[in-house]
Amino acid sequence: MKISVLGCGRWGSFIAWYLSGRGFPVALYGRENSPRFALLKSAGKNEYVTLGENVALTSSLEEAAAADVLVVSVKSAGLRELLSSLRPFGLAEKTLVLCMKGVEENTGKRLSEIAVEEGADRNKVAVWVGPGHIQAFAAGLPNCMLIDAYDHALTKKLADAWRSDLIRFYYGDDIVGSEIGAAAKNVFGIAAGMLDGMGLSSLKGALMSRGTREVSRLIAAMGGNGFSAYGLCHLGDYEATVFSPFSHNRMFGELFVKGEKYDKLAEGYYTVKAIMHLKEQYNVDLPVCEAVYSVLYSGVSAEDAISKIFKRTLKAEF
């Protein structure tokens, strides 16, 4: 299995490090003008991992696309453009593994749907989601993650080949639920950060129970299995998203309510806008997501939005 990882940020570099450590030849693609790529090229490492000798760095998309398996780890908003650029290099013949979490902002489409629209073979598209932070993995702390695909044979093939003592991969059987659950958890990471910023961390338990319930409703409305929200793609990822100091989304939410800027990517900021499209399309009640959206995009105070959520009656919520 010859693998190329597209995207040399923290997750892309970690994935290249991890898969090369499993014995696979790996190429890591980054743009030539990327400071992250320049650091890896000059030092062979970044703040998270040191790349092994069997990781080849390349800024040629054509060269990267020569692999059998393309593992994509870029900002979700850039996925469509990247896949369009891969079409001339036989995208339809490649196994495509999406290692990012999001929903297209203006359409509400899942990332695997975008991949198929851009020319990927539906039966060769998989997603890699679930809990874990690079800092913990690099320190040798194990976790469980999830592989899901339209074709269960592909799910099993990838999970069996890539699992290790560091990452135990589980088989997914609901790609709709896996993608929506994984994307939505970033929104709840922002909500958790807002609670931290307001000194209301004690409400995180209530946030988690209500959040999982509303995401399960959305998944079911979209044709997936609502119980997926209670698995690794969503509830199982809350420790890493809702509590961890390494969570970009949690930190973004905390600093937002404090009026401070955050200069790292928080995918939940874009995802919540897309989820509002899904809320209208599927007529699903999503009170926490709506509250986060109102704070980020409509100027509602976090205090008012949070108060409104937790004053809802049990009957209204469930």
- Residues serving a catalytic function are 185
How remote is the C-alpha of 32 from its chain's centroid? Answer: 25
- In 74-91, which positions are buried (b, 16+ CB within 10 angstroms) versus exposed (e)? bebbebbebbeebeeeeb
Question: Can you tell me the distance from the alpha carbon of 284 to that of 170, in angstroms, rounded to the nearest whole number?
Answer: 29
Residues 6+ apart with CB under 8 A from 152: 171, 173
Sheet of 69-72: strand order equals 55-58, 26-29, 3-6, 69-72, 95-98, 125-129, 143-149, 167-171
Distance of alpha carbon 156 from alpha carbon 170, whole angstroms: 9
CB 20 within 8 A of CB 26: yes
- Say if residue 65 is exposed, middle or buried (CB neighbours under 10 Å; 0-12, 13-18, 19+): buried
For tokens 């958890």, name the residue. 185
Q: Report the SS3 class of residue 200.
A: coil
The answer to whether 29 and 4 are in contact (CB under 8 A) is yes
Answer for the pair 65, 92: CB distance below 8 angstroms, yes or no. Answer: no
Instruction: Give the separation between CA 62 and CA 221, rounded to whole angstroms.
Output: 40
Q: CA torsion 291→292→294→296, rounded to 10°? A: 170
Residue 50, CA distances (Å) to 82, 134, 139 in order? 26, 12, 12
**Contact predicate 315/213, CB 8 Å:** no
